Structure 1
Amino acid sequence: MSKVLVVAFAVAAVVFLVLDGLWLGVIGRSLYQREIGALLLDRPNFGAAAIFYLLYLAGMTYFCVLPGVAEASAMRGLVNGVLFGAIAYATYDLTNLATLKGWSTTIVVVDIAWGAFATAAASAAAVGVTTRFVT
């Protein structure tokens, strides 16, 4: 495994996990409770969350970070991150809206925006750090 891949994945992981942890645990917590509280578990399924994060970060690294590193362009990472994040989060949220009783349209809009932002930020940061310190 190349040093570029390891650093790209690690930086994306740290940034994304910190942002998502703050969002889910502090900033957006009351919104989720208000909008979909009846659907939430008392305690998250951490195994499923770990699998999601590993897969999502692998996709982010492949589709967003590595193309940005190849071009030495944090903007490429940012743009690809916005697109990847919005599409991935829209897949989840719109499927839930289509299939679950009580899924909130507010959550759909906020989640898609959040996915686009957090993925773009993590991707751009990972491109910047990897390009500056590894390539």
Structure 2
Amino acid sequence: MLKYLAGYLGAGLAFAAIDAVWLTTMTNRLYKPILGPILADKPDMKAAVAFYLIYIGGIVFFAISPALRDGGLGRAALNGAVLGFVAYATYDLTNQATLNVWSSRLTLIDLAWGTVLTLSASSIGYLAARWAENRLGG
């Protein structure tokens, strides 16, 4: 059980840190010019925290746990990449289908970002889980 907690914490910290850098550097450069007036002045932190908690659980379930059972780091990375692509495709393509201001450019960039971000968090979470398993008997 400790290994899953370590995987969750490792993936969560990695995801939050990497995403924070992306959002602070790209919001004004990428999102604001396209989304303009529909972009909130400040994010709804309750919704943001809920997303992070749920999504990191998905990373543990769909990427880290299978890799711990029978895969290794490559499996965690691949499963994370697929999860990120599917999750971000759901968000981006739904927005592109329903919002006049959404663009194909934003969809492609955000899809790539979600894929790389989730792959990275899954890999780091997997390594944290393995560390816990080896050091703490997790």
Which category describes the TM-score, using the shorter chain as reference length? Answer: over 0.9
Aligned residues: 133
Q: In the alignment, residue 32 of structure 2 is paired with which amino acid?
A: Q
CA distance in 2, matches of 1:39, 1:105: 17
CA-atom RMSD in angstroms: 1.2
Indicate the larger mover: 67-76 or 40-49. 67-76
Structure 1 residues 26-57: Cα deviation after superposition (integer angstroms, max 9, x where no partner): 2x221111221222101111111111111111
8 Å CA contact 1:36–1:104 kept in 2: the answer is: no
**What TM-score do the two structures reach when normalised by structure 2?**
0.91
For structure 2, the 5+ residue unaligned runs are none
Distance 1:129 1:71 in 2: 16
1:1-135 matched pairs, under 5 angstroms: 2-26=1-25, 28-29=26-27, 30-71=29-70, 73-135=72-134
Could you tell me how far 1:17 is from its partner in structure 2? 0.5
Give TM-score, length-normalised by structure 1. 0.93
